[in-house]
Amino acid sequence: MPSPKAKNPGRSGGSPVLGSSNGRYEFMSLTKPLNRSSPPHLLQRQGSDPTTARLRASESPTRRRGSGSSTGSASGQGPPEEDALSSLLAIDLWLSKQLGVCACEDSSWGSVRPLMKLLEISGHGIPWLAGTAYCLYKSDSAAGQEVMLNLFMGLLLDLILVGIVKAVVRRRRPAHNRMDMFATFSVDRYSFPSGHATRAAMCGRFLLAHLVLAAPLRVLVLLWVGLVGLSRVMLGRHNVTDVMFGFWMGYCQYNLVEMLWLSPQTLQGLLGQSA
């Protein structure tokens, strides 16, 4: 004859274990997880028990988040942030491939590829370093030497910062790019950011700020900056985001050059202290 208590399974928030030898109730501990190997009839009774409901409600937020992420991974759905990033990257790759009209000679705009490569050389670091060093050597005024010296230091800073970012990000160049670039180095096999874009943006701001140029020449400087960035995408060297980030990085690099500006007197003082 079962005990009268067996007719009230919800008493004291417990759940009875049917078929026990002494016919008494055995209560689950709130800190003990549910045993999935229990008999099906016990799992059903435990799932509808108030104690089990309180146990589920008392789970930590971390555990609930972990179980939710596991469910999302099992169903193939990632977090919304990852989905948005993947969509933006897909758009970037698609747009870059559509604009790479000069990537090969047989491309739709393959006939203008030599002009694009000329723009590529005009934004390369070696011609800029060599030309700035020559102007610094030939300059006969203190103001001219000061300007050329800081431009030379800015170009060196650009090479260092772009090399660091490329080595850290390590983004491959577009698949439709032909590796026939002028004077490449080890980090030049990476795409992000565009060194030509950073250099063009920094040098463009520098020339507009420190050289007295007529209005048509100022327009030409701005046009050159834009065409250098456009040529990187048309030649298939970079993706659109590589060039856009490069422009922003070069714009900020000029601010850093202004902060670290070296005058001839400062340079002489540094050389005197080191001697």
Residues annotated as catalytic (active site), given as ranges? 196, 238
Half-sphere exposure at residue 81, Cβ-oriented, CA atoms within 13 angstroms:
0
Half-sphere exposure at residue 52, Cβ-oriented, CA atoms within 13 angstroms:
14
For residues 47 and 9, give the distance between their C-alpha atoms in angstroms, rounded to a whole number: 13
Phi/psi of residue 190, nearest 5 degrees = -95, 155
- Collect contacts of 227-233 with beta carbons under 8 A, ≥24 apart: 227/119, 228/119, 228/120, 228/122, 228/123, 228/196, 228/197, 228/200, 229/194, 229/196, 229/197, 229/200, 231/102, 231/116, 231/119, 231/120, 231/196, 232/120, 232/194, 232/196, 232/197, 233/96, 233/99, 233/100
For residues 234 and 95, give the distance between their C-alpha atoms in angstroms, rounded to a whole number: 11
- CB-based contacts of 25, cutoff 8 Å, min separation 6: 5, 11, 12, 14, 16, 17
For residues 239 and 234, give the distance between their C-alpha atoms in angstroms, rounded to a whole number: 9
